[in-house]
């Protein structure tokens, strides 16, 4: 395995700027950590996890599907010329990405997502890269290349052709054999939260969580939709038209199952009519339904919804409450 | 992808987030996670605030009425017409025959310039804005008791309170971040008293839910004070050291024992006693109210009574206490601060004060400024109906939808000789205009908004204005210069703020460089002043606090045989005011796309009304058709409607009875009847 | 509960059975998954005061194949897209028919259109009625209200391939006689020896002249003689109807393997991505809209 320092890695990024659009963690105007283009400032690779839905890079808040002129001619927005190179995602982020890749690819291919995703290269960051040097789990795959921080250097692990292609371009670095120890440490990380989630999932599957519980949680939901908007595995969207002067444009944008209009039909029938139905769905969908359909729970415990929920009913909080009450 | 940090254009909570734009197209919102209020979670309106910006309905060119029809025109022609017509009306009918409606939606800088335009250029104090319709009662009531009409504490104080008394505020719907914070505090163990006839979301988490009769607030609060004094729970030390006029208060509330108050309010005596005890015995109790308190013919009395209650128990001037009016619009606090009011310049400096006038005469380099107070907007519409106001210049306001008694408003607008409307969409009001000027929206200009907690925050230009639209401040400067006034020229809004700081003591220390990342809370007296999170610490802004006892007066209109229901109005969580923005926002419009009336199932069954039936709701002003929404959350005998929907406008029904002091209309109570539409 | 394995099969079947119009075939082009093909409305006729029948001609050059019970995503330009059931049988080629109620803004705009107006179509989507399962069976084809629109595609199919099935009974309920869809079809089916067609309406205005049965749809079931072991029922209708009809059928001895339902949900994309039509782990648009009741056990399908 080769190592590279953070500075060297940035030198490398600057050297390939012509070929890639490089995106990674940046600090915005007021100190908010976000995803942004590489500028003269180094990327904030040690600033913690990006609080926003990082998958918005491939599945943005709103996007135009097409425009159609009044002569019924279609105009599709072209994709950007350069492939994307994304740096700085954590193991749980990569798991989420892996899931939505599968989701958008399986069955009917969602070409809007897939085209954008296809040409991108993803570099994960793990190891001792936490805000205070704490250990972040190593994904051991699920990206093109992973930079595993040992406290001084990044150890480069390439997992795909793209990863090896990039790695070959990196001329710096020394060989190291310290990866094995870091892997041991990563695999030994305890994840009590995952156990709670699994227990909650089983309780839900066995229908041991009563309606009163959901009503209680629902009373505390102010329907801000922040949870579904920051969740990296929430993929629901709405499609709508804009009527412009001589054309119409069709857009899709993030939707939220926490709104009563989400499933309401023109007839007025609404399978998710009450907030307690909707709260129940928000949790069950990730912990039970996706387990049935996709073979795994689709909450990867990134904690974004818990961080943004203004009333403390994010996924981890609700799962913990389920286990405490019904476990 | 560009990310521009800006302040939300909806309610006055003052969340900041990043507007995402791609080649001048707005594509999304990304929350600020470090902002002290937003904390990474805008409400549903905030999350969708990017959508209306480039809506195809946006006004992109000035319009001028020709042969009765609004036609596209050039800026030259439109501005010339304004600059020519307003003075000619003044020449004919007097200086005060024209009126300026400023806007709580626009920036501080723009409000300041608009009031400067009215006063320095057109020599009239006839300038007002929609605070008249929401918190004029607070400004008066709190100024009389505390010496300052603003929210006394900060939003972060919600985390420190032990008890909340929320009255006349559906906080989770209208100020979601504050409502959510209250819910969080309650979960941590704080007590919550909610006084509201509807079972709002907060009521479900309340320790005590008082469903008092709509409009009986003064009686309820007097009753609580009666109990506090009777049971010796008043804060003697605070009363003696910080207040005056206590004896008078005592004498008044003596006449409001729980038994009598119970009769007026429909509560049980015990509920009143419990509320009084809970509030008075708490270490830090916070009063939170909104327009459910102010929009009454006794709105000022309501506010005074709340201030009395806070002073009686010493719950003022400390973290987690205070009397906290939640402002409704993004910059209604700022519009007041900037003096878009008929009787004060910026910083609540009275126009009647010779020295103050002289200061502005010098700064603005004019010969003189009018000394008598102008007309409040509610009175101005009445005056227009009588033909006394001939010209009206409305910025960012849609009185046809937002003012009470729509028939009266339409009639008043029709009587005008000349109406200028400056807005981002062609509103119902703009349809009466002689000239329509297309304005830039919040995302297309620089400036500041002042949030409900007196925090002055930046609004940033993320894209050029759409089509031919221009920023309001640029339009005002252009009008002033065309009218021959030389001293309204600025290169950027930051220069306007510098001028504001020079003449406005409470904004004395504000400059764009200081509020670049996070805003400051006024009073901020000079460039080193850190701002003021809590007012009245150790000393009231007005010196001594002054008890102003109020007597209970019933609402102007009460139910009778012909109109047996109480009709009350409010906002839906998903829509904002006249709906010009939220109804052009996909998910919000999908969520609620038509007017509804909430009715208790008991009433509904009696009248043969089923859920989602179309019903006719009528008052003495008119009638509208809407769909019925059956809910136990509303008290029998009461109907609740919103006013967002132009197709069936709630304000066709409301009563234009005004508070004698604040001139605020009684939106919150009138008599109505409801019938199933065959 | 359906296992994951069976589940996968559902979505894959949805995929390969579908055939797409024109450009949609080439998934490599830009936004092709969401780009409709443009068609002109050939003709429009009134079915009821609230429902109209729209007919689209499909040129021979376009290889369009569908199953009874499938739907298309229909675009009304400027108003968006809505899932609309195909109302005619695949055995009747060269055209598509859609019976559409004026229910919201999109369908409202559609009702304003004239022959020649351009609409967009994507599809067909979803799993239709599983004809293999219905073959050699006695059929109970039950529709309530608008549910006759998708069911008509199956009824026509049965008419055209009569030999494949045993006794076919049609039970149809509507609010009032005005609201009966396909009145001429109904008259023909009632006349015909092919079917035993029974109609019921909830309510009749005085002096209407309607002489048929009045009552609720489930009331048609108890008087029937049903051979449970070789009968399959197919249900399409408003959500509130299902529990009552299902109960009546169970009383006749039909188990959940012999009851097929078509569910109404608000599909936005038709291809299992947008999430609007989720029923627990199912996506109604690719796993349904037609389900065997057995497969829905344990889900919130009746919500």
Domain closes at, from B503, B521, B539: B521
Q: Alpha-carbon distance C263 to B309, whole Å?
A: 58
Q: Is C215 on the interface with A (CB under 8 A)?
A: no
Contact B632, B200 (CB under 8 A): no
- Region for A12 from its dihedrals, namely left if φ exceeds 0, alpha if ψ lies in -120 to 50, beta otherwise: alpha
Of residues B653, B619, B453, B430, the one with CA closest to residue B12:
B453
Q: Alpha-carbon distance B247 to B261, whole Å?
A: 21
Residues B70 and B113 in one domain: yes
Q: Taken in order B565, B571, B574, B578, is the CA torsion positive or negative?
A: positive
Which of B587, B596, B627 to mutate: most A Cβ within 10 Å?
B587
pLDDT at A171: 78
Q: Tell whether the model's pLDDT for residue C250 goes beyond 70.
A: yes
Average pLDDT of the residues of chain B? 95
List of chain A residues whose C-beta atoms are within 8 Å of the C-beta of residue C80: 239-241, 250
Q: Is B607 on the interface with A (CB under 8 A)?
A: no
Q: Average of pLDDT values for A78-82?
A: 68
Establish if B79 belongs to a structural domain.
yes
Q: Alpha-carbon distance B135 to B333, whole Å?
A: 9
Residues B198 and B311 in one domain: yes
Q: Average of pLDDT values for B195-201?
A: 95
Q: Tell whether the model's pLDDT for residue B360 goes beyond 90.
A: yes
Q: Do the chains contact at C280 and A295, CB–CB below 8 Å?
A: no
pLDDT at A208: 93
List of chain B residues whose C-beta atoms are within 8 Å of the C-beta of residue A259: 44, 587, 590-591
Enumerate residues 6+ apart whose C-beta is below 8 A from B486.
Answer: B365
Enumerate residues 6+ apart whose C-beta is below 8 A from B36.
Answer: B155, B156, B518
**Count of H-run helices and E-run strands, chain A:** 12, 11
Which tens digits make up the pLDDT trace of B276-294? 999 999 999 999 999 999 9
Q: Tell whether the model's pLDDT for residue C242 goes beyond 80.
A: yes
Q: Tell whether the model's pLDDT for residue C16 goes beyond 70.
A: no
Establish if B141 belongs to a structural domain.
no
List of chain A residues whose C-beta atoms are within 8 Å of the C-beta of residue C239: 269, 271
pLDDT at C29: 22
Backbone angles phi, psi at B39, to 5 degrees: 45, 40
* pLDDT tier for residue B389 given thresholds of 50, 70 and 90: very high
SS3 state at C164? helix
Concatenated DSSP letters of B559-623: --SSS-EEEEEE--TT--TT-TTGGGSHHHHHH--S-EEEE-HHHHHHTT--TT-EEEEEETTEE
Q: Which domain holds residue B665?
A: 565-676
Chains with 3 or more CB pairs closer than 8 angstroms to C? A
Residues B340 and B317 in one domain: no
Residues B42 and B82 in one domain: no
- The burial class, CB within 10 Å (0-12 / 13-18 / 19+), for C84 is buried
Q: And the tokens for B373?
A: 């107070």
Concatenated DSSP letters of C270-302: SSS-S-TTEETTEEHHHH-BEEEHHHHTTS-TT
Q: Do the chains contact at A66 and C14, CB–CB below 8 Å?
A: no
Which tens digits make up the pLDDT trace of B35-81? 999 899 999 999 999 999 999 999 999 999 999 999 999 999 999 99
Q: Is A34 on the interface with B (CB under 8 A)?
A: yes
Q: And the tokens for C263?
A: 């569910």
Q: And the tokens for B137?
A: 């009662």
The dihedral formed by the CA atoms of B90, B95, B97 and B102, expressed in degrees to the nearest 10: 110
* pLDDT tier for residue A78 given thresholds of 50, 70 and 90: low
Q: Tell whether the model's pLDDT for residue B452 goes beyond 60.
A: yes
pLDDT at C293: 92
Q: Tell whether the model's pLDDT for residue C1 goes beyond 60.
A: no
- How far apart are the CA of A257 and the nearest CA of chain B, in angstroms? 11
* Residue B142 exposure: Cα atoms within 13 Å on the Cβ side: 24
Establish if B550 belongs to a structural domain.
no
Average pLDDT of the residues of chain C? 85
Average pLDDT of the residues of chain A? 91
CATH code, domain carrying B593: 2.40.40.20
Number of domains in chain B: 4
Q: Do the chains contact at B205 and A229, CB–CB below 8 Å?
A: no
Domain closes at, from B326, B356, B385: B326
Q: Average of pLDDT values for B357-374?
A: 95
Taking the mean position of all CA atoms in its chain, how far away is CA B312?
27
Domains of chain C, CATH where assigned: 4-125 (2.40.30.10), 131-296 (3.40.50.80)
State yes or no: cis peptide before B438, omega within 30 of 0.
no
Establish if B554 belongs to a structural domain.
no
Contact B430, B412 (CB under 8 A): no
Domain closes at, from B13, B33, B54: B54
Which tens digits make up the pLDDT trace of B632-673? 999 999 999 999 998 889 999 999 999 999 999 999 999 999
pLDDT at A80: 64
SS3 state at B239? helix
- ipTM score: 0.95
Contact B641, B567 (CB under 8 A): yes
Establish if B119 belongs to a structural domain.
yes
Q: Alpha-carbon distance B614 to B600, whole Å?
A: 15
Residues B309 and B342 in one domain: no
Q: Alpha-carbon distance A4 to A148, whole Å?
A: 10
Q: Which residue has the higher pLDDT, C239 or B319?
A: B319
pLDDT at C303: 62
Q: Do the chains contact at B180 and A311, CB–CB below 8 Å?
A: yes
Establish if B545 belongs to a structural domain.
no
Residue B237: Cβ within 10 Å count: 9
Concatenated DSSP letters of B373-421: ----HHHHHHHHHTT---EEEEES--HHHHSS-HHHHHHHHHH-SEEEE
Q: Tell whether the model's pLDDT for residue B146 goes beyond 90.
A: yes
SS3 state at B152? coil
Q: And the tokens for A297?
A: 């729970």
Q: Do the chains contact at A310 and B184, CB–CB below 8 Å?
A: yes
List of chain A residues whose C-beta atoms are within 8 Å of the C-beta of residue B592: 261
Residues above pLDDT 70, as percent of chain A = 99
Go through chain C and tell me how many residues it has.
Answer: 303
* Residue A220 exposure: Cα atoms within 13 Å on the Cβ side: 21
Q: Average of pLDDT values for A153-165?
A: 91
List of chain C residues whose C-beta atoms are within 8 Å of the C-beta of residue A281: 278
The dihedral formed by the CA atoms of C251, C257, C259 and C263, expressed in degrees to the nearest 10: 130
Q: Alpha-carbon distance C141 to C172, whole Å?
A: 8
Q: Tell whether the model's pLDDT for residue C72 goes beyond 60.
A: yes
Which tens digits make up the pLDDT trace of A118-151? 889 999 999 999 999 899 999 998 999 999 999 8
**Pairing of the two strands B243-244 and B545-546:** parallel
List the beta bridge partners of residue A238: A253
Q: Alpha-carbon distance B99 to B101, whole Å?
A: 7
Q: Do the chains contact at A61 and B184, CB–CB below 8 Å?
A: no
pTM across the whole model: 0.93
Break chain A into its structural domains and give their ranges: 2-188, 192-248+256-326
Enumerate residues 6+ apart whose C-beta is below 8 A from B596.
Answer: B626, B627, B628, B629, B641, B642
Q: Average of pLDDT values for B368-383?
A: 94
Q: Is C4 on the interface with A (CB under 8 A)?
A: yes
**Pairing of the two strands A247-254 and B2-7:** unpaired
CATH code, domain carrying B37: 2.20.25.90
Which tens digits make up the pLDDT trace of C140-171? 999 999 999 999 999 999 999 999 999 999 99
- How far apart are the CA of C27 and the nearest CA of chain A, in angstroms? 7
Contact B328, B12 (CB under 8 A): yes
Q: Do the chains contact at A115 and C266, CB–CB below 8 Å?
A: no
* pLDDT tier for residue A79 given thresholds of 50, 70 and 90: low
* pLDDT tier for residue A266 given thresholds of 50, 70 and 90: confident
Q: Tell whether the model's pLDDT for residue C15 goes beyond 80.
A: no
Q: Alpha-carbon distance A133 to A149, whole Å?
A: 9
CATH code, domain carrying B297: 3.40.228.10
Q: Which residue has the higher pLDDT, A174 or A40?
A: A40
H, E, C per residue of A173-196: CCECCCHHHHHHHHHCCCCHHHHH
Establish if B537 belongs to a structural domain.
no
Query: What's the longest Cα–Cα distance across chain B?
Result: 72
């Amino acid at each position: 395995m080769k190592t590279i320092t953070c500075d060297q890695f940035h030198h490398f990024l600057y050297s390939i700027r012509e070929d890639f659009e490089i995106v990674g963690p940046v600090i915005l105007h007021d100190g908010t950590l976000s995803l942004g283009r590489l500028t003269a400032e180094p990327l904030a690779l040690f600033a913690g996890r990006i609080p926003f839905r990082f998958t918005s890079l491939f599945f943005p808040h709103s996007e135009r599907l097409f425009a159609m002129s009044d002569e019924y001619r279609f105009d599709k927005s072209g994709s950007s010329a350069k492939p994307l190179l994304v740096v700085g995602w954590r193991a749980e982020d990569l798991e989420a990405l892996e899931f939505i890749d599968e989701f958008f690819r399986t069955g009917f291919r969602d070409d809007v997502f897939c085209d954008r995703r296809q040409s991108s290269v993803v570099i994960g960051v793990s190891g001792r890269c936490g805000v205070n040097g704490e250990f972040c789990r190593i994904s051991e795959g699920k990206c093109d290349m992973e930079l595993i921080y040992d406290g001084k250097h990044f150890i480069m692990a390439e997992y795909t052709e793209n990863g090896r292609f990039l790695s070959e371009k990196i001329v710096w670095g020394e060989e190291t054999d310290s990866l094995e120890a870091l892997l041991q440490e990563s695999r030994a990380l305890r994840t009590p939260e995952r156990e709670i989630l699994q227990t909650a999932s089983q309780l839900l599957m066995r229908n041991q969580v009563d309606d009163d519980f959901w009503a209680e949680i629902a009373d505390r939901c102010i329907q801000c939709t922040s949870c579904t908007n920051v969740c990296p595995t929430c993929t629901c969207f709405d499609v709508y038209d804009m009527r412009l002067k001589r054309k119409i444009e069709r857009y899709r944008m993030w939707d939220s199952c926490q709104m009563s209009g989400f499933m309401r039909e023109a007839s007025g029938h609404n399978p998710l009519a009450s907030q307690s139905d909707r709260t129940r769905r928000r949790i069950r969908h990730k912990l039970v339904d996706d387990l049935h359909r996709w073979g795994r729970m689709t909450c990867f415990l990134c904690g974004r919804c818990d961080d943004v929920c203004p009333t403390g009913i994010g996924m981890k909080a609700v799962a913990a409450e389920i286990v405490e009450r019904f476990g | 992808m560009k990310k521009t940090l800006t302040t939300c254009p909806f309610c006055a909570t003052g969340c900041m987030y990043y507007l995402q734009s791609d080649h001048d197209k707005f594509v999304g919102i990304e929350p600020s996670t470090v902002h002290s209020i937003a904390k990474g979670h805008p409400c549903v309106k905030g999350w969708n605030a990017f959508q209306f910006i480039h809506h195809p309905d946006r006004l992109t060119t000035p319009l001028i009425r020709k042969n009765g029809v609004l036609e596209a025109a050039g800026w030259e022609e439109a501005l010339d017409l304004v600059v020519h017509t307003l003075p000619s009306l003044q020449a004919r009918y007097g200086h005060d025959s024209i009126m300026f409606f400023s806007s709580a939606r626009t920036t501080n800088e723009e409000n300041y310039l608009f009031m400067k335009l009215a006063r320095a250029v057109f020599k009239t104090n006839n300038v007002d804005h929609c605070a008249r319709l929401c918190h004029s009662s607070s400004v008066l009531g709190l100024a009389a008791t505390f010496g300052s009409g603003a929210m006394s504490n900060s939003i972060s104080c919600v985390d420190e309170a032990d008890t909340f008394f929320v009255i006349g505020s559906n906080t989770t719907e209208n100020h979601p971040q504050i409502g959510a914070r209250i819910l969080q505090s309650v979960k941590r163990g704080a007590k919550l008293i909610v006084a509201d006839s509807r079972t709002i979301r907060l009521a479900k988490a309340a320790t005590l839910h008082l469903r008092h009769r709509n409009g009986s607030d003064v009686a309820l609060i007097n009753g609580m004070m009666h109990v506090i004094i009777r049971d010796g729970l008043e804060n003697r030390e605070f009363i003696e050291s910080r207040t005056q006029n206590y004896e008078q208060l005592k004498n008044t509330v003596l006449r409001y024992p729980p038994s009598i108050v119970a009769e007026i309010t429909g509560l049980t005596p015990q509920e009143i006693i419990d509320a009084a005890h809970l509030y008075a015995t708490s270490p830090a109790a916070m009063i939170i109210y909104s327009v459910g308190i102010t929009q009454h013919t006794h709105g000022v009395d309501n506010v005074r009574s709340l201030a009395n209650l806070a002073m009686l128990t010493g719950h003022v001037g400390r973290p987690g206490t205070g009397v906290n009016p939640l402002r409704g619009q993004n910059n209604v606090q700022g519009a007041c601060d900037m003096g878009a009011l008929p009787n004060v310049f910026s910083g609540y400096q009275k126009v009647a004060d010779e020295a103050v006038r002289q200061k502005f005469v010098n700064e603005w380099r004019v010969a003189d400024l009018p000394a008598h107070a102008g007309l409040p907007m509610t009175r101005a519409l009445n005056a227009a109906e009588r033909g006394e106001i001939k010209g009206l210049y409305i910025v960012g306001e849609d009185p046809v939808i937002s003012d009470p008694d729509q028939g009266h408003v339409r009639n008043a607008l029709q009587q005008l000789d000349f109406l200028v409307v400056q807005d981002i969409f062609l509103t119902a009001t703009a349809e009466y205009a002689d000239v329509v000027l297309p304005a830039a929206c919040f995302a297309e200009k620089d400036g500041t908004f002042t949030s409900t907690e007196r925090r002055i925050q930046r609004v940033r230009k993320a894209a050029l204005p759409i089509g031919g639209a221009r920023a309001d401040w640029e339009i005002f400067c252009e009008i002033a210069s065309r009218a021959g006034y030389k001293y309204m020229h600025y290169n950027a809004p930051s220069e306007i703020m510098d001028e504001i700081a020079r003449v406005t003591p409470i904004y004395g220390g504000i400059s764009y460089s200081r509020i670049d990342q996070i805003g400051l809370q006024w009073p901020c007296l000079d460039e080193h002043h850190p701002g003021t999170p809590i007012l009245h610490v150790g000393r009231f802004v007005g010196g001594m606090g002054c008890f102003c006892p109020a007597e209970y007066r019933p609402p102007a209109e009460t139910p009778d045989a012909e109109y047996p229901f109480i009709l009350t109005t409010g906002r839906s969580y998903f829509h904002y005011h006249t709906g010009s923005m939220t109804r052009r926002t996909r998910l919000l419009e999908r969520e609620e796309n038509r007017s509804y009336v909430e009715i208790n199932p008991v009433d509904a069954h009696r009248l043969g009304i089923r859920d989602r039936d179309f019903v006719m709701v009528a008052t003495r002003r008119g009638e509208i058709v809407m769909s019925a929404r059956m809910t136990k959350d509303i008290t029998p005998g009461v109907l609740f409607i919103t006013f967002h929907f132009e197709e069936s406008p709630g304000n066709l029904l409301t009563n234009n009875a005004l508070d004698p002091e604040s001139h605020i209309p009684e939106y919150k109570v009138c008599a109505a009847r409801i019938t199933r539409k065959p | 509960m359906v296992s994951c394995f069976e589940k996968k099969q559902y979505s894959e079947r949805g995929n390969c059975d579908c055939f797409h119009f024109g450009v949609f075939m080439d998934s490599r082009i830009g936004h092709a998954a969401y780009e409709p093909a443009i068609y002109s409305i050939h003709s429009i006729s009134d079915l009821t005061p609230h429902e109209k029948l729209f007919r689209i001609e499909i040129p021979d050059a376009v290889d369009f194949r569908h199953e009874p019970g499938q739907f298309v995503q229909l675009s009304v330009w400027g108003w968006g897209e809505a899932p609309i059931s195909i109302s005619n049988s695949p055995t009747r080629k060269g055209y598509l028919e859609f019976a559409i109620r004026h229910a919201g803004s999109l369908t409202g705009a559609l009702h304003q259109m004239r022959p020649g107006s351009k609409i967009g179509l994507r599809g067909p989507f979803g799993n239709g009625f599983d004809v293999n399962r219905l073959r050699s069976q006695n059929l109970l084809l039950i529709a309530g209200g608008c549910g006759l629109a998708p069911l008509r595609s199956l009824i026509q199919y049965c008419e055209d391939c009569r030999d494949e099935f045993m006794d076919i009974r049609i039970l149809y309920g509507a609010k009032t006689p005005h609201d009966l869809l396909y009145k001429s079809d109904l008259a023909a089916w009632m006349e015909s020896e092919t079917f035993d067609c029974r109609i019921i309406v909830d309510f009749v205005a005085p002096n209407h002249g309607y002489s048929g049965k009045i009552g609720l749809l489930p009331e048609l079931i108890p008087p029937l003689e049903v051979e449970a072991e070789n009968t399959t029922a197919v249900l399409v209708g408003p959500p509130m109807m299902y529990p009552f009809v299902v109960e009546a059928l169970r009383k006749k001895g039909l188990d959940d393997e012999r009851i097929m339902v078509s569910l109404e949900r608000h599909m936005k994309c038709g291809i299992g991505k947008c999430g609007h039509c989720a029923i627990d782990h199912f996506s109604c648009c690719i796993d349904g809209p037609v389900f065997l009741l057995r497969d829905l056990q344990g889900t919130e399908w009746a919500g």
